[in-house]
Every structure is written in structure tokens, then in C-alpha cells.
Amino acid sequence: MRILNSGSVNNDHVCRADHSAGKGETIVVIGSLNMDFVVQVEKLPMPGETLCGERFQMIPGGKGANQACAVGRLNGNGKMVGRVGEDVFGEQLLKSLQSAGVDTSKVLKTSNAATGVALIFVQKGGQNQIVIAPGANGQLTPQDVQAATGSIEGGYLLMQLESPDETVETAASIGRARGMTTILDPAPVRPLSSGLVKNIDIITPNETEALRLIGRSAGDVPLAEAPQIAQRLRELGPKTVILKMGEKGAWLVNDRFNRHFPAFKVEAVDATAAGDTFNGALAVALADGKPMDEAINFANCAAAISVTRLGAQASIPTRQEVDAMLRSGKVTASCGKISSAMPPISN
């Protein structure tokens, strides 16, 4: 869903479900729902600098909701757990997820807090700056998570760090106790408690997050250093580390693999929800029974398509689009322009 500054609604990229494949094991997403206020700019502002922006849009987002939307659009069996305010933004966020086929019955409405918002500047080439006001997201409690997960056993649990620390830690503990595969996107990055990491099966940081988690300054990670950094993250507790490296692809370290997965080469427009798309797609592929290497290829493909479009949930591809790109190695015309096609990947 896109709500333009004129007040009209553009439904070109509402999170609609695609029923071409999928619907494997249950995927529970516990996390944030935000309305994104997006301004396109020629360059990102420096401290104290005022810039004249270009196009403005309001687009459904929030890391939790983005990952749930990706699960839905890729035809996974998704359930969202979170909080919104009793306002128009909360209603729009729920409608977007429902259009994707996501179960939103466990998203609670909060009377004393507004729906969370994110202020996003996007420059040409896709780089961005984001500031979040959590609102109702900050009131998601461990008790909410316990009530929402009910009798769920098995499946997959997606988490991020836009919810309170205690809530995320409780969610991971519940997931481990119920035999779920727990997947943590450690963003926004902050130190991880031992109580959390001991219950994480898969951690998926980007380069900046990975460096911060091992006590180094933020920056880029050369491919040559990726194996060592991923291994250091694995020593924190998670069994599997997937280092998301943008246009360089992804690096996997677990008991079976220590290897690189190249990215699909596309013409990037906006990278806002690429990592969220990757995580949602990874969970869908694993829930469908794909092995880890095929699941990462699937996730890389979905993320590549997402960066060819502006916005968070507005950018997430359908299952049909991802499967078509995996077969052909090319982004379809509706997805964007490809600058260098990869060889076809079997899935």
C-alpha cells in the first residue's frame, strides 16, 4: 500500500498473497509495525543541514511487519505478533498484512500510544537514513508474546530488535521450548544478552551489525574477512550465522558450510526493506523444506528484487516473481532493470 502526500492511496504494491507455491510450516513473526514516512533526496543530510527533498510517501513498514509481509507475499504460513495504536496508521498496517494473507489476530491495539513511525531519507542508488519512533511497539510485553503463541509447536520464529529486550528474550525462550527454529535479525544493533543468544538458531546481521556485535567499529566487511567475522559471531551462541553483505551477497557459517553466496546484480533504487525481505524469504524456503543453501539463494533473489523498488512493504516481491527470476536469472520487467544477470539457479 502507498499513501501519497496528496492523501490518495496507490494500491500498486499492496501486500497481496500469491498462491503459486508454499504454505509450509507455521512462521510466527514477533516485532514492530511502523508507518514509514519516506522522502527521496539527492544526497543524505549532514548534521545541521537542511535539504530540499523530492517525492514524499507514507508506506507500511516496521521490521516485524516487513518480514511478515514477505512471508505472506511469498506464500508462507505467516502469523504476526505485535502492537499498533488505535489510529488510522494502525488500521492501514493491519490491512496491508491481511492483504498478504498474514494472520493479524494477535496484533494488539494500544489505547495509550500511537502506532510506531519511521522517518526515512532515501538517496539515489538506494542508500538511506532511518530514525524510528517506536510508539506502541515499545509496549509489546513478554505476557503478550506468551498469550499470542498459545499452543504453537514447531515451525519458525522470526524476531528483530525493535521490540523491548525482555520481550525478544522471552520470545526466543518460548520458541526454543516449543521446538521452533529461532531466527534473529539483530537490528537495530545493540549488545545481545546471553539469555537471548543461547536460544537463537540462526542470526542474520548485516555488515555493520556484525562488526558492532563483535566489538568493532561499523563499516564494510571485505569478502576475505567474512569467514572469520561469521565464525566469531557463531562463537556467541547461534548455530548458524548468515552475514548479509548487500551487493556482495551473503556468507554462511554453520556445521556444514563456510561459504559465499553471490548476490543477484540489479539496479538498486531503495534498500530499505532488503534485509527484512531476505529474512522472510529465508524462513519461507526453510518452512517449505528447502536445504539451507537453496534457502539462501531464494532469499538473495527476493532481496535483489526488493531493492529495485521504492519503499518497505511496497518493494517486496511475490512468490511468482522470485520463482521466475530463479528460473531465468533475470528480473522481470515489473520488478526493475537488471544490469548483469546471474546464471539460472535451480530451486
**Set 36, 144, 201, 276: catalytic member:** 276
Q: Which three cell numbers stand for residue 9?
A: 492511496
Instruction: Select from 82, 189, 81 the least CA-distant residue to 130.
Output: 189
Supply φ then ψ for residue 267, to 5 degrees. -90, 105
Rounded distance between C-alpha atoms, residue 25 and residue 76, angstroms: 8
Would you call 276 a catalytic residue per the annotation? yes
Strands (E), 124-249: 128-133, 156-159, 181-184, 202-203, 240-244
* Cα-to-chain-centroid distance, residue 126: 16
Rounded alpha-carbon distances, angstroms, from residue 293 to 187, 304, 318: 23, 17, 21
Residues 6+ apart with CB under 8 A from 140: 30, 81, 82, 83, 108, 163, 164, 167
Instruction: Name the amino acid, one letter, at 170.
Output: T
- Break the chain down into helix, strand, coil percent, rounded to 5: 35, 25, 40
Supply φ then ψ for residue 35, to 5 degrees. -95, 125
Q: Pairing between strand 116-123 and 338-340?
A: unpaired
Q: Pairing between strand 2-4 and 9-10?
A: antiparallel
For the annotated catalytic residues, the residue numbers are: 276
